[in-house]
Amino acid sequence: MSRYACIPASVALLCASVPALAASHVFLIQNSGWMEPFYTDPASPFKPLVAEIIMAATGPGDPMVLAAFNQSLPGAPSPRALLSLKVDPVPTRREVVKALAALEVAHKPGGTALADTDLNEAVGSAIGTALGGKPGLVWLVTNNRNSPNNDQATALRNRDFYQLIHRGDAISKALAFPLQMPVRGAQYRANGLMVYVFAVGAQGARELDALLLSGRLQRVITEPAARLKPLDRDTLRLVPRKVSDAPGVAFSMAPGGVLHADVDAGTRAPAAKIEWNLENTIYPYTIASATLAARSVLGGENRAIELASTQVSKLAPGKSAPLASTMQLPVTQLPGTWSLKAVTSAGSAYVLPGRIELQLSEQRLELSQDFRQRMATLFPGDPLPDIFTPPAQIKGSSAALPIEVRVHYGVGPLLAAIGAALALLGAAAWAMLAMARPRKAYVTVEDELRTMQARAGTVQPIYDKAGNKVAQLKTTLFGHQLIDLREGAQVRLGR
């Protein structure tokens, strides 16, 4: 076992001392009675698949716990930790494969009866003990059956599991992957397997989104993820299809799903009629019916978007419906051609960020028929798990499309500003030279012509032949003048 291991396999509860870092993982592997064919079929790909999921989901340095679970009984507690370590890909793979190889179907204490299952107990222990209530991801590998002996408490435990996932505050996002895996054991046979992943806390949801974006998990699990939670946001995607009646405005989608609205600087009333594709992104649910409303939030302005239709119905997952709209862009928030923002944005674009918000009210969701058929094929004879029933309190949802309004300004204002700045600099330089250069001034005092040297900004006294001060010579950039002229003095400028 790894030097990071903190508990032996015989300890029942999950390790509470695992560092609760971002992207902490807890892997819960069911080994109760109904799982018998997955363990005993010689051709079963079950354990290799679990190992690959673990390696795809984790990264170097991630703390993880691997545990088996069934139903806790006196003398046979559950979950039971198999490994607790920080991931180092090569040795971790060896330890995971070794731990899974030793895992067998569990029996009830003191007999040969196969163990029952409590999904709620397993996930609750993972959240409360292994993660200590801190962010992380809980993975659950199960055949979706709670009890091989039709325990009468099964329905109650199923309801508890439903409440934990849909109404509990701890789990922020939940996905399910129904997988085909036909296996035959000595007692049972099965066609499929379910892999759940539950994101704990907002940080856990971000880590799950990052994992899905990386594509690592999809290289192992090629089936689309069925969303269990949240069902009240990001249920639709807006994709612009056509723009008309928008002189001076052009729309385009940028990488990352940001809508660009490029506006010419001279456009005074930018508005556009936009035809969208409204796509259902909430697999496996069909939006049976909903009422639509939309608005734009740009530059501090909140404007309603006029929709050609406010109703959506029978929109299957992955399918799209046309939606026409008229949107007004925030004219008053766009800088004028001669504004400082326009001048500094010359040759590029002034960007005004915002978003388009779509609200669905009176929303009614239904499981798609394709998904129901797939579940019936993978789990024949089993009722559809309640966990796939949308909570009754979810009557609406929202979606947002980031938008950037980009105003393109020519270089004319910038060139004009540069020219004006150069003119001012030239004038200032001329003024400085003029101030520093001595200038001749001709002054006649009592019929005597005198030549004086004066710099701009100076004042010099003028004396008569007897040595009396009779005036002062003031020199500016624009010439000379006599000031403080003594009464009766014979002093004048010039010859």
φ/ψ of 126, rounded to 5, equals: -60, -45
Among 172, 169, 135, CA closest to 19: 135
Residue 302, C-beta contacts closer than 8 angstroms, at least 6 positions apart: 295, 296
CB atoms closer than 10 angstroms to residue 451:
8
Using H for helix, E for strand and C for coil, what is the string for the chain? CCCCCCCCCCCCCCCCCCCCCCCCEEEEEECCHHHHHHHHCCCCCHHHHHHHHHHHHCCCCCEEEEEEECCCECCECCCEEEEEEECCHHHHHHHHHHHHHCCCCCECCCCCCECCCCHHHHHHHHHHHHCCCCCEEEEEEECCCCCCCCCCCHHHHHHHHHHHHHCCCCEEEEEEEEEEEEEECCCCEEEEEEEEEEEEHHHHHHHHHHHHHHCCHHHCCCCCCEEEECCCECCEEEEEEEEECCCCEEEEEECCCEEEEEEECCCCCCEEEEEEEEEECCCCEEEEEEEEEEEEEECCEEEEEEECCCEEEEECCCCEEEEEEEEECCHHHCCCCCCHHHHHCCCCCEEEEEEEEEEEEEEEEEECHHHHHHHHHHCCCCCCCHHHCCCCCCCCEEEEEEEEEEEECCCHHHHHHHHHHHHHHHHHHHHHHHHHCCEEEEEEECCEEEEEEECCCCEEEEECCCCCEEEEEEEECCEEEEECCCCCCCEEECC
- Distances 144 to 116, 211, 452 between C-alpha atoms, Å: 12, 24, 109
Judge whether 272 and 325 are in contact, CB under 8 Å. Answer: no
The single residue listed with the structure tokens 């909570």 is 391
- Dihedral sign, CA of 360, 366, 368, 374? positive
pLDDT on residue 242: 78
Q: At what angle do helices 89-101 and 46-57 cross, to 10 degrees?
A: 150
pLDDT in tens, 42-71: 999 999 999 999 999 999 999 999 999 998
Q: 397-408 and 258-264: which strand pairing?
A: parallel
d(CA 30, CA 141): 6
Can you give the residue ranges of every domain in the chain? 25-229, 236-413, 439-493
- Distances 295 to 303, 307, 330, 354 between C-alpha atoms, Å: 5, 10, 12, 11
pLDDT in tens, 208-220: 999 999 999 999 9
Judge whether 288 and 365 are in contact, CB under 8 Å. Answer: yes
347, amino acid identity: G
Judge whether 298 and 442 are in contact, CB under 8 Å. Answer: no
> Residue 221 burial by CB count (10 A; 0-12/13-18/19+): exposed, middle or buried?
middle
Among 144, 148, 198, CA closest to 25: 198
d(CA 375, CA 386): 13
pLDDT on residue 162: 80
pLDDT in tens, the chain (495 residues): 333 344 333 334 454 334 433 349 999 999 998 899 999 999 999 999 999 999 999 999 999 999 999 988 998 899 999 999 999 999 999 999 999 999 999 999 888 888 888 888 899 999 999 998 899 999 999 987 655 454 556 556 667 788 888 888 899 999 999 999 999 998 888 999 999 999 999 999 999 999 999 999 999 999 999 999 998 888 888 888 777 756 777 777 777 678 887 777 666 556 678 888 899 999 999 999 999 999 988 877 888 889 999 999 999 999 999 998 888 776 555 555 545 554 454 455 677 788 888 899 998 999 999 999 998 899 887 766 778 888 877 788 888 888 887 776 655 554 455 556 666 676 666 556 655 667 788 888 888 888 888 777 788 898 888 888 888 888 887 778 888 888 878 888 877
pLDDT on residue 236: 87
pLDDT on residue 20: 38
361, amino acid identity: S
d(CA 359, CA 294): 6
d(CA 127, CA 199): 10
Among 394, 111, 382, CA closest to 230: 394
| Prediction pTM value | 0.74
d(CA 119, CA 28): 10
